[in-house]
Structure 1
Amino acid sequence: MNVDDLIAIDIHTHAEEPCGCHPDDGYDDFQAAMATYFKAPYEHPPTMVETAAYYREKKIGCVIFPVDAERETGFRRYANEEVAGIAAENSDIMIPFASIDPAKGKAGAREARRLIDEFGIKGFKFHPTMQGFYPNDRSAYVLYEAIAEAGAIALFHTGQTGVGSGMRGGMGMRMKYSNPIHLDDVAVDFPDMPIIMAHPSFPWQEEALAIAQHKPNVYIDMSGWSPKYFPPILVKYANSILRHKMLFGSDWPVIKPDRWLADFEKLEMKDEVRPLILKENARRLLKI
C-alpha cells in the first residue's frame, strides 16, 4: 500500500460476502432491514473483490473485517482466513482485521494468535450488541491478552445500532452492551492495546469523548453516520483536543465513502484537522 497516493484511509468497512455466495438464509430479512435503516445504495451487498475495486478507483485505503456473531444471531460467520486471503490479494488497498466471538475463550485466543502470525491480521472487530457481551466482562480478557501481546488493534462497535432496527424485538439485539463506558475498564486493564470506539456513540456521546480524552490508547472512528448528523460536541472535540484521536470511517457498504466525504467537506472543520482525520491519524495508528 502506497499511502502517499491515497486521499484517505477508511478504518471501518464490512466484508459482507467475501466468497460472492449467498451467505445464510437467515441473513436475508436482517440485510433487508439494514438496507432500509441506512437507505443503503445497493440491491445486494458487494463482494470483497467488488469492494476492493471501488476503493481502488477512489484512491482510498480500507480496513475490512467480518463480524463473528454466530452464537447470538445464529448466522454463519465468514471465515477470517478467507477475508484475510482476499485482502492479501488486494493489499494495495485493503488491510485485514478479523472477528472472534469472545465467548470462544481460549480457543478464540489461539485463533487470534494464528491469524496474526499466519495471515497478517492487524486488528479485531467486536460488536458487543451483536455478540451479546459487555466488553469489560473478564471472560473476554483471554482474547484481549492475545491481541495486546501481538500489538494488534481492538475495534468495538459503540452506541445505537442499525442491526435489528425496526425488526420484531430488535432481532433480540440489546443496546446496553454497546455503552462505551464499559471500554473504560478495558483501556485501564490493557493500557498498551490500541482501542477504537466505532461510530458516534449515541446516546452516550459524552462518555465516549471523555474516555478518548482520558485514556491515551483510545480512539474514535466517525463511521456509521453522515457527518451532517454529527452531534456538535463531537465536532467540537474533533476540532480541538481530540484532533489526533479521530478516524475517518464510512461503515461500507451501508454508507459509501463518497457520501461521507461530501458531507464532511461541508462540516465546520479546521483545515489543519481534516488531513489528520482522513488519513494521518489512521496511518500512525496502523503503522503504515
Structure 2
Amino acid sequence: MNVDELVAIDVHTHAEISQDGHGSLSPELFGASEEYFKAEGHRQPTIAEMADHYRQRTMAAVVFTVDAEFATGHPRIANEEVAQSCAEHSDVLIPFASVDPWKGKAGVREARRLVTEHGVRGFKFHPSIQGFSPNDRMAYPLYEAIEELGVPALFHTGQTGIGAGVPGGGGIRLKHSNPMFVDDVAVDFPELRIILAHPSFPWQDEALAVATHKPHVHIDLSGWSPKYFPPQLVHYANSLLQDKVLFGSDFPVITPDRWLADFEKLDLKPHVRPKILKDNAAKLFGLA
C-alpha cells in the first residue's frame, strides 16, 4: 500500500456477504438497515468488488464484519475469509476482524491467531448487536489481548439503523452503545487504541468528552452524511480533536462519493481536511 498516493483512508466499511452468498445479518435486520439508510435494494458487493470501488478512487478502506452469533444466533462471515480477501487486495484494503466477546477464552485465542497468522489490523465491536456493554468485565480478556497485540478496537456508538422499525428493535438495545461505557475501557486499558464509530447520537457530547480526555480515543465520522453532523462535532473536529478524527463512510449503505461531496461543504480549516481524510488514520494504523 502506497500511502503517499492515496487520496483518503475510509476506516469504516462492511463486508456484507461471503463468497458463498451468506449475509452478515439476518434478512429481517438487513432489511431494516436498508430502510433506515434509504438504501433499499443496494447491492451487497463482494470484497473484491469493494477493492475495485476504492482502487478506482485512489483510496484505501478498512473492511470488517460483525460477529454477533451469541445474541442473534446468525452465523457470522468468517474472519479468515475477510482477511484472506483483503490480503489479495492489500494495495487498497485493510482487514479488521470481529470476535463476539461472549466467546470467552476461545475468542481470545482466535483474536491472537487472527493477528499473528492472518494479518488482521484491528477489531470491530458492535455492543448493541452483540448484546453487551463495553465495560462488562466479561469482555476484558479480549481487550487485554488486543491491547497486547497493539492493534485498534473500533466500537459502534450511538443509535443503530440495524433493527430500526422491527418490533422490539429486533432485540437490539441501544443503551449498550453509549460511549461513556467505552470510557471505562480506556481507563482500564490505557494503551489500547480505541475508535468511537459514528456521530454518537444521542450521546455526541459524551463521545467528544471521552475523546478529548483519553489520549488514545479517536472518533470516526461514518454512518452519517456530513451535512447532518452536529455542530459541536464539526467544531471539535476543526479544533481540539483535529488529530483524532477519522474519515469513515459506512459503505456500502453510504458511499464514499456521497460522503466526500458533503464533507467538502463543511467549514473546516484547510490543514484539517487532509488529517481527517488520511493522515490521522495512517498514523493510527502505523502506515505513515
Shorter-chain TM band: over 0.9
What is the alpha-carbon distance in structure 2 between the residues aligned to residue 20 and residue 5 of structure 1?
34
What is the alpha-carbon distance in structure 1 between the residues aligned to residue 197 and residue 245 of structure 2?
10
Question: 1:49 Cα shift?
Answer: 1.1
Q: TM-score, normalised by structure 1?
A: 0.97
Question: 1:262 Cα shift?
Answer: 0.2
Q: Which letter does structure 1 place at the counterpart of 2:146?
A: I
What is the alpha-carbon distance in structure 2 between the residues aligned to residue 23 and residue 207 of structure 1?
33
Question: Pairwise mapping of residues 101-140 of structure 1 onto structure 2 (< 5 A)?
Answer: 101-140=100-139
Q: Which letter does structure 1 place at the counterpart of 2:69?
A: E
For 2:7, the equivalent position in structure 1 comes to 7
After superposition, what is the alpha-carbon deviation per residue over 1:117-174, rounded to whole angstroms, capped at 9, x for unaligned? 0001110000000000010111100001110111011000000000101111111110
What is the alpha-carbon distance in structure 1 between the residues aligned to residue 98 and residue 237 of structure 2?
28
For 1:97, the equivalent position in structure 2 comes to 96
For 1:19, the equivalent position in structure 2 comes to 19
Q: Which letter does structure 1 place at the counterpart of 2:187?
A: V
Q: TM-score, normalised by structure 2?
A: 0.97
Matched position secondary structure for 1:181: helix
What is the alpha-carbon distance in structure 2 between the residues aligned to residue 22 and residue 245 of structure 1?
35
Question: Pairwise mapping of residues 66-105 of structure 1 onto structure 2 (< 5 A)?
Answer: 66-105=65-104
Question: Pairwise mapping of residues 136-285 of structure 1 onto structure 2 (< 5 A)?
Answer: 136-285=135-284
- Report if aligned partners of 1:195, 1:219 keep a CA contact under 8 Å in 2: yes
- Report if aligned partners of 1:212, 1:218 keep a CA contact under 8 Å in 2: yes
Change in CA separation of 1:167 and 1:41 when aligned onto 2, cut-off 3 Å: closer
Question: 1:40 Cα shift?
Answer: 1.7
- Report if aligned partners of 2:245, 2:280 keep a CA contact under 8 Å in 1: yes
- Report if aligned partners of 1:18, 1:86 keep a CA contact under 8 Å in 2: no
- Report if aligned partners of 1:20, 1:47 keep a CA contact under 8 Å in 2: no
Question: 1:75 Cα shift?
Answer: 1.3
Q: Which letter does structure 2 place at the counterpart of 1:46?
A: P
What is the alpha-carbon distance in structure 2 between the residues aligned to residue 41 and residue 260 of structure 1?
18
What is the alpha-carbon distance in structure 2 between the residues aligned to residue 83 and residue 42 of structure 1?
23
For 1:45, the equivalent position in structure 2 comes to 44
What is the alpha-carbon distance in structure 2 between the residues aligned to residue 284 and residue 35 of structure 1?
33
- Report if aligned partners of 1:197, 1:219 keep a CA contact under 8 Å in 2: yes
- Report if aligned partners of 1:41, 1:254 keep a CA contact under 8 Å in 2: no
Instruction: Using the aligned pairs only, state the percent identity.
Output: 63
Q: CA RMSD in A?
A: 1.1
Matched position secondary structure for 1:98: coil
After superposition, what is the alpha-carbon deviation per residue over 1:15-51, rounded to whole angstroms, capped at 9, x for unaligned? 1113151437x72222222111101275331111111
- Report if aligned partners of 1:18, 1:49 keep a CA contact under 8 Å in 2: no
What is the alpha-carbon distance in structure 2 between the residues aligned to residue 17 and residue 93 of structure 1?
19
Q: Which letter does structure 2 place at the counterpart of 1:231?
A: P
Matched position secondary structure for 1:72: helix
Matched position secondary structure for 1:82: helix
Matched position secondary structure for 1:91: coil
Change in CA separation of 1:272 and 1:42 when aligned onto 2, cut-off 3 Å: farther
Question: Structure 1: 5+ residue runs without aligned partners?
Answer: none
After superposition, what is the alpha-carbon deviation per residue over 1:229-256, rounded to whole angstroms, capped at 9, x for unaligned? 0000000000000000100000011100
What is the alpha-carbon distance in structure 2 between the residues aligned to residue 27 and residue 165 of structure 1?
13
